[in-house]
Amino acid sequence: MDSSEEKRKRLVAPQTLKGFRDLMPVAMIARNAVIEKIRSVYEKYGFVPIDTPVLEHLGTLLGPGGEEINKELFRLESPEREPIAMRFDLTVPYARLLAQYPDQLKLPFRRYHVGPVFRADKPGPGRFRQFVQFDIDAAGSESVAVDAEIVAAMAEVMRALGLGNGEFQIRINNRRLVDALLLCQGIADGETQKHVLRVIDKLPKVGAESVRKELGDGRVDDSGDPIPGVGLSGGVIEDLIQFISIQGTSRKEVLDGLARVLPQGATRDAALGEMSELNEALASLRVAEHEAVFDPSLMRGLDYYTGPVFEAHLPGAPHFGSVMGGGRYDQLVARFMDQSVPATGASIGLDRLMDALAHLGRIRTAPTTTKVMVLSLRGVPSRELLSIAHDLRDQGIPTEVFFAGSNAGFRDQLSAANARQVPIAVILGEDELKTGRVSIKDLRVGMQARAAIQSHEEYKKSGRTGQVTVARNELVQTVTHLLSGQ
Amino acid sequence: MDSSEEKRKRLVAPQTLKGFRDLMPVAMIARNAVIEKIRSVYEKYGFVPIDTPVLEHLGTLLGPGGEEINKELFRLESPEREPIAMRFDLTVPYARLLAQYPDQLKLPFRRYHVGPVFRADKPGPGRFRQFVQFDIDAAGSESVAVDAEIVAAMAEVMRALGLGNGEFQIRINNRRLVDALLLCQGIADGETQKHVLRVIDKLPKVGAESVRKELGDGRVDDSGDPIPGVGLSGGVIEDLIQFISIQGTSRKEVLDGLARVLPQGATRDAALGEMSELNEALASLRVAEHEAVFDPSLMRGLDYYTGPVFEAHLPGAPHFGSVMGGGRYDQLVARFMDQSVPATGASIGLDRLMDALAHLGRIRTAPTTTKVMVLSLRGVPSRELLSIAHDLRDQGIPTEVFFAGSNAGFRDQLSAANARQVPIAVILGEDELKTGRVSIKDLRVGMQARAAIQSHEEYKKSGRTGQVTVARNELVQTVTHLLSGQ
């Protein structure tokens, strides 16, 4: 027989993995409500759901996200000893799907997909190794009208989540514009281009002066660590800074500014023409100027973008960064098939979005969806409690019977119900049993009353605040009445 | 520059991993509807949602499911080089949660959890390596009243999915009964006990004669392979067979039968008393005799069950096996903390349930939730189509604009809309543009009409069946009217 000391040694420590998190009911109830709102918007835009496995062949995932993402893959082996990995986003699996089922998924095809993705990067506050993405993507058309639809859907999601004028902003840029700029500055090498994009992407975080240094000889960061620079010349740097600093009070004004600084040429004309068309499409979809702005400093990291890119942030919660982002990736499907399929989409980082909404007080937090808790005094048979629960549930009222260890007294039961913010307690004691009655207590009234209590006398009297006793056959009707708030 | 041959060689083959599957919209739309129905039932029973990571410390998962499950774990390493694995069920993570957050998760605590689980076993028809479980579990009470609530919730889920009288059945047994039987037969060795349970669990699949042989000296299966036996004596085998063959027209009758065959003793009395109490609780919750039966042959594989066990199957789809199962596991939490927490629950295998429901024709399959497809003839500007989409969506009508390659003619658009079973097409051509009108085609009418077509003349005329042309400002009203089915 084990001593308790020996048993303690054999215990498995209950621990969540570093960089991962458990979600408690209060977080999940809020999350489910947000997911439903997003789903409803996306279905209105014609997107339909699909699902793909969490695991993919390593070859499917390796490459398209870029070197940094390659390093962050959770890799393992299949039972057949093939190299496999956990997906790092939902876009690459979508591209695989389009190539794999050309007969089933006729173009144009727009889908939504919500599910967990995995990145083995350095965790930090608000950064997790497993997080949920909620994606929309539309394949089959090169038209920027579809990019505009993606942006309109993004804006409508934000509005559906209760964010009003100025509380969210979608920044839009175009990789073609950036390409035009880099080429005319003579920056043709792929690695250098990527380095430049990475540095520019830091602009909102580190400011123009640090960007200037990183584009040149490098700088020393706050901790004293050296950050190597790209090594561009002063003239080129100033041209880049001028380009990414262009702003305007309307999307049109930004385009006019870009037309002034970008050197003439076919690439420039094509890129500006596309952005102008995008602007017109956004206007047709009634996306307001303050909801979606053109911002030449937006780069976005992933390697697979080829056209417009988008990113949404909440100005009231700037340190959460972007809560949603995406863009056009016309070449990703061509990794898998002998044909390119134009596609564009956006992804919500649900965890970050929830955190940012909570920060802004836009999440209503309830620890339960249960409306009635059935409490009992000692000696009341279970069958009576279950019968009450049955009748309430039968009318669609979420009900829990308080079943716990026999040492849970009535006070414990009542305080548990209060702690969970359950609105109604139904109470069955021997008195009620004998007389065929039940007591019903509106715990919301009790909460208000307790807040106003001044003396011990009042406290003692408050025990029965909001409590009525009715015949058993009047139970359901009384509870329904109380819950309807009358 | 690549030749196209070279490019083809560099293509990544678009492949789903062996044992995994992609879900197309038609499957996902049905699945989401089923999940919503289940969620609604579970919330009515007082369960609240939680979520835990897909990955866990290996030590958390290794052991509680038994040797077979250990072998089926997808194992990998964390970035910190710890051994980790993908979860094989949602029950073990729930037990970890209860031990890890005793202050946040006050008992009694009932939660639901829906998410993917992973088992690296041999895939087959309907057997996948990733599948979704939808679990409920209630912790904090040893009372069989809670087991009865789990069974009642299972039954109500089945009813909510449209399964009526005799279309589902929940079998219930109790590990204590089985323990009482094994002990009085002198089968005390743990490994032998497990072997006996495994053999008995095969009863519905292989029949009593094969079970008899496997409990004895073994048998040869259909393929000629030898199956080793447990090696029990003839008398013990007959007692076991007699026990597991007990049936009755009511749960009470089965209990009476068990009382007759089980030798007297405290263990027997305790087990039968518990089952009797469970029966009474099921009656209070109005779970009909045909919905939940006592069946002494039900064993269930997982090692962690300690009391009542349950399993639901659909008699009309027997080859799908059990679609839902669970039981009481009062010792699982004690793996993680110096205290045992009684708990009981049930798990739905969502993939298998969906397959079985589809087999029974209980899944309404729609390939889209989109109600309107906006089609256009060549030369119509995007902004007009987007504006139509905006107005329809603004009234909550799911709308897709058909944007595809420029080679998609009007016929292609119309047949795409028909193939997806979108009910309404809104059509914009140059005629409509000039006159400020739009054409609206009820594709459901067209489908019915085409089915009745007899001649080529009729076919030619049928092109405009169900089609009306209205002023642009009457568009939304007309579509709403058509969709409301009037």
Evaluated on CA atoms A102, A104, A109, A115, the torsion sign reads: negative
| CA–centroid distance for B351 within its chain | 5
Distance, CA of B144 to CA of B275 (rounded, Å): 8
Give the number of other Cβ atoms within 10 Å of residue A45's Cβ: 24
Q: Do B54 and A118 touch (CB under 8 A)?
A: yes
Within this chain, do residues A119 and A256 fall inside the same structural domain, yes or no?
Answer: yes
**Chains A, B: CB pairs < 8 Å:** 309
Three-state secondary structure string covering B385-447: HHHHHHHHHHCCCCEEECCCCCCCCHHHHHHHHHHCCCCEEEEECHHHHHHCEEEEEEHHHHH
> Encoding tokens for residue B104?
């946040």
Q: Say what the pLDDT of residue B459 is.
A: 60
Q: Say what the pLDDT of residue A379 is.
A: 86
CA-based nearest distance A83→chain B, Å: 11
pLDDT at B316 > cutoff 70 = yes
Q: Which of B44, B107, B152 sits opposite A404 (nearest CB)?
A: B107
Q: Say what the pLDDT of residue A458 is.
A: 65
pLDDT at A329 > cutoff 70 = yes
Within this chain, do residues B303 and B443 fall inside the same structural domain, yes or no?
Answer: no
Evaluated on CA atoms A292, A50, B75, B84, the torsion sign reads: positive
Domain assignment present for A169: yes
CA-nearest of A234, A247, A251, A235 to A203 is A247
pLDDT at A115 > cutoff 50 = yes
CA-nearest of B30, B139, B19 to A55 is B19
Encode burial over B24-45: b for 16+ CB neighbours within 10 A, e otherwise.
bbbbbbbbeebbeebbebbbbb
Within this chain, do residues A48 and A179 fall inside the same structural domain, yes or no?
Answer: yes
- Residues B444-455 have pLDDT tens digits of 987 777 666 666
Encode burial over A383-420: b for 16+ CB neighbours within 10 A, e otherwise.
bbbbbbbbbbbeeebbbbbbbbeeebeeeebbebbbeb
B residues 385-444 lying closer than 8 A (beta carbon) to A:
385-387, 389-390, 393, 396-405, 416, 419
Specify the CATH number for the domain of residue B443.
3.40.50.800
Domain assignment present for A224: no
Q: Say what the pLDDT of residue A463 is.
A: 64
Within this chain, do residues B106 and B53 fall inside the same structural domain, yes or no?
Answer: yes
Q: Which of B21, B59, B402 sits opposite A108 (nearest CB)?
A: B402
Q: Do A393 and B44 touch (CB under 8 A)?
A: yes
User: Which residues neighbour B187 within 8 Å (Cβ) at sequence distance 6 or greater?
Assistant: B193, B196, B232, B236
Strands (E) located in B319-411: 322-328, 343-349, 372-376, 399-401
Confidence of residue A348 (pLDDT cuts 50, 70, 90): very high
Least confident of A103-112, A269-278, A454-463, B107-116: A454-463
Nearest chain B residue to A419, by CA: B106
> Encoding tokens for residue A17?
């993995």
Q: What percent of chain B has pLDDT over 90?
A: 73
pLDDT at A204 > cutoff 90 = no
Domain assignment present for A438: yes
Q: Say what the pLDDT of residue A6 is.
A: 66
Query: What's the pTM?
Result: 0.93
- Mean pLDDT score, B328-341: 91
Within this chain, do residues A349 and A429 fall inside the same structural domain, yes or no?
Answer: no
Within this chain, do residues A450 and A353 fall inside the same structural domain, yes or no?
Answer: no
- C-alpha distances in Å from residue A175, one per residue of A91, A139, A194, B23, B102: 18, 18, 12, 32, 51
Decide if B25 contacts B367 (C-beta within 8 A): yes
Within this chain, do residues B174 and B322 fall inside the same structural domain, yes or no?
Answer: yes
Burial class (CB in 10 A: 0-12, 13-18, 19+), B418: middle
Within this chain, do residues A345 and A461 fall inside the same structural domain, yes or no?
Answer: no
Looking at every residue in chain B, the average pLDDT score rounds to 91
- Residues A118-168 have pLDDT tens digits of 999 999 888 899 999 999 999 999 999 999 999 999 999 999 999 999 999
Beta strand pairing call for B292-294 and B169-174: parallel
Q: How many domains does chain B have?
A: 2
Distance, CA of A215 to CA of A211 (rounded, Å): 6
Q: Say what the pLDDT of residue B10 is.
A: 80
Q: Say what the pLDDT of residue B323 is.
A: 95
- Where among B337, B359, B381 does a domain terminate? B359
- Where among A329, A359, A389 does a domain terminate? A359
- DSSP letters along A143-196, please? -HHHHHHHHHHHHHHHHHTT--TTT-EEEEEEHHHHHHHHHHTT---HHHHHHH
Domain assignment present for B86: yes
Within this chain, do residues A146 and A174 fall inside the same structural domain, yes or no?
Answer: yes
Decide if A12 contacts B60 (C-beta within 8 A): yes
pLDDT at A369 > cutoff 90 = yes
Domain assignment present for A212: no
Domain assignment present for B219: no
pLDDT at A430 > cutoff 80 = yes
Give the number of other Cβ atoms within 10 Å of residue B325's Cβ: 23
Q: Do B7 and A104 touch (CB under 8 A)?
A: no
Distance, CA of A400 to CA of A416 (rounded, Å): 12
CA angle A294, A300, A303 (to 5 degrees): 130
| CA–centroid distance for A443 within its chain | 34
Which chain B residues are within 8 Å of A405, Cβ to Cβ?
107, 140-142
| Phi, psi torsion values for A320, nearest 5 degrees | -85, -10
Three-state secondary structure string covering A455-480: CHHHHHHHCCCCEEEEEHHHHHHHHH
Which chain B residues are within 8 Å of A373, Cβ to Cβ?
46
User: Which residues neighbour A474 within 8 Å (Cβ) at sequence distance 6 or greater?
Assistant: none
Provide the residue range defining the domain that includes A408.
372-483
- Residues B201-235 have pLDDT tens digits of 888 888 889 999 999 999 998 888 999 999 999 99
pLDDT at B308 > cutoff 80 = yes
Q: Do B49 and A28 touch (CB under 8 A)?
A: yes
CA-nearest of A351, A45, A324, A348 to A172 is A324
Q: Say what the pLDDT of residue A316 is.
A: 95
CA angle B176, B182, B188 (to 5 degrees): 110
Burial class (CB in 10 A: 0-12, 13-18, 19+), A220: exposed
CA-nearest of B107, B161, B97 to B323 is B161
- Residues A183-196 have pLDDT tens digits of 888 888 888 988 99
- Mean pLDDT score, A398-403: 96
Distance, CA of A83 to CA of A87 (rounded, Å): 13
Distance, CA of A401 to CA of A385 (rounded, Å): 7
Within this chain, do residues B391 and B313 fall inside the same structural domain, yes or no?
Answer: no
Domain assignment present for B135: yes
Within this chain, do residues A172 and A62 fall inside the same structural domain, yes or no?
Answer: yes
Q: Do B25 and A50 touch (CB under 8 A)?
A: yes
Q: Which of A335, A373, A397 sits opposite B11 (nearest CB)?
A: A335
- Mean pLDDT score, A221-225: 87
User: Which residues neighbour B285 within 8 Å (Cβ) at sequence distance 6 or greater?
Assistant: A386, A387, A389, A390, B148, B149, B151, B152
pLDDT at A315 > cutoff 90 = yes
Q: Say what the pLDDT of residue A1 is.
A: 43
- Where among A359, A385, A404 does a domain terminate? A359
Distance, CA of B373 to CA of B378 (rounded, Å): 16
Q: Do A419 and B106 touch (CB under 8 A)?
A: yes
Within this chain, do residues A333 and A441 fall inside the same structural domain, yes or no?
Answer: no
Domain assignment present for B87: yes
Decide if A310 contacts A170 (C-beta within 8 A): yes
Decide if B88 contacts B118 (C-beta within 8 A): yes
A203-210 contacts at long range (C-beta below 8 A, 24 or more positions apart): A203/A244, A203/A297, A204/A297, A208/A241, A208/A245
Q: Say what the pLDDT of residue A409 is.
A: 86
pLDDT at B170 > cutoff 90 = yes
Distance, CA of B285 to CA of B288 (rounded, Å): 9
> Encoding tokens for residue A336?
């898998």
pLDDT at B1 > cutoff 50 = no
Specify the CATH number for the domain of residue A167.
3.30.930.10
Evaluated on CA atoms B133, B136, B140, B141, the torsion sign reads: negative
Quick check: ipTM above 0.95? Answer: no
CA-based nearest distance A134→chain B, Å: 15
Q: Provide the greatest CA pair distance for chain B.
A: 93
